Amino acid sequence: MSQSINFKRHRRLRSSNAMRSMVRENHVRTEDFIYPIFVIEGEKIKNEVPSMPGVHQLSFDLLLDEVKEVYELGIRSVIFFGVISEKDEIGTGAFAEDGIIQQATRLVKKEFPELLVVADTCLCEYTSHGHCGVIHDHDVDNDESLKLLAKTAVSQAEAGADIIAPSNMMDGFVAVIRQALDEAGYSHIPIMSYAVKYASAYYGPFRDAADSTPQFGDRKTYQMDPANRLEALREAESDVAEGADFLIVKPAMSYLDIVREVRDNFNVPVVAYNVSGEYSMVKAAAQNGWIDEKALVMEKLTSMKRAGADLIITYFAKDVAKWLKEDN
């Protein structure tokens, strides 16, 4: 080749696995994960969620075994979701002292004090209508719902939750919860806000797992329009101003542009929620032999880190932790 032709030799830094590892810009680590666990009433219950292979609803007597496995894999954070049979119009089970999440939190923190327990602060799993707040005239009453959400957050902190994660998408929820926590003596408890939560079709399998499908209408009056980008920045800006310590973007896979926007505009940890639909699509394709599951999952989670996520809530956490141990 003529010596007069000049071009960059980018392949020099891809010449071997060791070289590629040396210059790799983003890494997926076990410490990055928050693992979701569904807790159900009863005993000796381990129900696999039909639409989420490998994910189970677990009763209290089996919960510690699950958490022990998670902890031994090096995962240091979990988020609990409750599955209950007795529901009412205002979601009393969300803020009851003996609520399912409160009991699970006490149990796990007693046995695993170093494990971080994130409490999902919402009402939808506990309301008879499946919406994230109080219903008036067939709509969610924002300000009345805030009172119950604040009560829920305080009850979760009292039970020992390390982080409060409100997912309800009511206006002003961070401000009201922050004030309630501070007044109750929990000014040290951080808020991991579901700041940017889209009204997404990717949530279907979760609603099977948590039994939280709305009984009428949908959640489009409080969750965000998937078409909107600037709205995401307005939502995140409000939550940071109100006292959010973390910002969650949900879902992750189709919203990596939003993860990057949030990362570039706000100086707090950013969390990507790799939601149930994203999980189930991969599992279904893997079961049919259409994809290399490990390679695809690692590529997908790496893309979330590359987009700017500091942490990832993912149902793949145990799988990936095992793969990373094998690779090491």
Residues that are catalytic: 197, 250
E strands, 145-274, where? 163-166, 192-197, 246-250, 270-274
Q: Could you count the other beta carbons within 10 Å of the beta carbon of residue 256? A: 19
11 assigned ligand-binding residue: no
235 assigned ligand-binding residue: yes
The answer to whether residues 289 and 227 touch, using CB atoms and an 8 Å cutoff, is no
Sorted by sequence, the CB contacts under 8 Å of residue 74 that are 6+ apart come out as 30, 31, 321, 325
CA distance 157 to 168: 17
The answer to whether residues 238 and 169 touch, using CB atoms and an 8 Å cutoff, is no
219 assigned ligand-binding residue: yes
**DSSP 8-state assignment for residue 198:** B
231 assigned ligand-binding residue: no
132 assigned ligand-binding residue: yes
CA distance 182 to 188: 8
315 assigned ligand-binding residue: yes
Helix (H, G, I), strand (E, B) or coil at 33: strand
Annotated binding site for Zn(2+): 122, 124, 132
Annotated binding site: 122, 124, 132, 207, 219, 235, 276, 315
Annotated binding site for Mg(2+): 235
